[in-house]
């Protein structure tokens, strides 16, 4: 071991260092620096054992209970899909998820349906649930002015968004 590195093993220095680094996210650059610094260094058996134990504590080789696995799976299922965000997803249901769309009221949807009655683009009406959508003509999902909201069928609604 080179003499210049000796201070790295001073217990006080190490404690300060680890305290300073604690909780700080390691950037890719940082990780690369660490990796570069470690390359070519040899570790004693004792050090290797300590590193192995530390890695274990970070979740490597950790055995999860079935309940824990289920929780993780449920959490992942609940995450929004990037291709299903915004109006393409829940907004089409209008008042179903009112908290996600500021100012939205089921009454707005009902008002638009009673005013337009059919799809503004193709004239179709489909009474099945979720088949008629209310669409913000200017694509501003917070502009609930009735002149900005039009009734569309699923197909035409999709077309309006894909042509944009
Ligand atoms: Zn239509
Ligand atoms: Zn829309």
Would residue 66 count as lying in a domain? no
| Structural domain range at position 138 | 86-162
3-state secondary structure of 136: strand
pLDDT, tens digit only, all 164 positions of the chain: 545 555 556 778 777 766 666 655 567 777 777 677 766 666 678 878 887 777 665 654 556 777 777 776 766 555 555 444 444 444 444 444 444 565 567 899 999 999 999 999 999 999 999 999 999 999 998 899 999 999 999 999 999 999 75
pLDDT reported for residue 70 = 74
- Percentage of the chain beyond pLDDT 70 is 57
Would residue 106 count as lying in a domain? yes
Ligand positioned closest to the Cα atom of 133: 2
Report the domain count for the chain. 1
Instruction: Look at the pTM and tell me if it is higher than 0.95.
Output: no
Please list all protein residues whose beta carbon sits less than 5 angstroms from ligand 1, which is an ion: 119, 121-122, 124, 153, 156
143, 103 Cβ separation under 8 angstroms: no
- How far does the centroid of ligand 2 lie from the alpha carbon of residue 92, in Å? 7
Would residue 9 count as lying in a domain? no
Sign of the C-alpha dihedral computed for residues 20, 21, 23 and 26 taken in this order? positive
Would residue 78 count as lying in a domain? no
Would residue 63 count as lying in a domain? no
Ligand positioned closest to the Cα atom of 90: 2
Would residue 90 count as lying in a domain? yes
Would residue 103 count as lying in a domain? yes
CA distances from 120 to 6, 11, 146, 164 (A): 77, 74, 14, 17
Would residue 91 count as lying in a domain? yes
């Amino acid at each position: 071991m080179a003499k210049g590195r000796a201070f790295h093993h001073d217990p006080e220095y190490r404690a300060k260092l680890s305290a300073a680094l604690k909780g700080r996210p390691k950037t890719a650059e940082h990780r690369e620096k660490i990796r570069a610094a470690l390359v070519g260094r040899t570790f004693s058996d004792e050090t290797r054992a300590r590193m192995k134990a530390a890695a274990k504590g970070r979740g490597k080789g950790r055995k999860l209970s079935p309940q824990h696995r289920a929780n993780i799976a449920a959490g992942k299922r609940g995450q929004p899909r990037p291709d299903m965000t915004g109006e393409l997803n829940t907004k089409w249901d209008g008042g179903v998820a009112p908290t996600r769309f500021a100012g939205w009221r089921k009454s707005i949807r009902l008002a638009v349906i009673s005013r337009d009655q059919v799809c503004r683009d193709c004239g179709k009406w489909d009474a099945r649930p979720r088949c008629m959508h209310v669409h913000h003509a200017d694509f501003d999902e917070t502009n609930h002015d009735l002149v900005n909201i039009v009734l569309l069928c699923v197909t035409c609604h999709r077309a309006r968004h894909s042509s944009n």
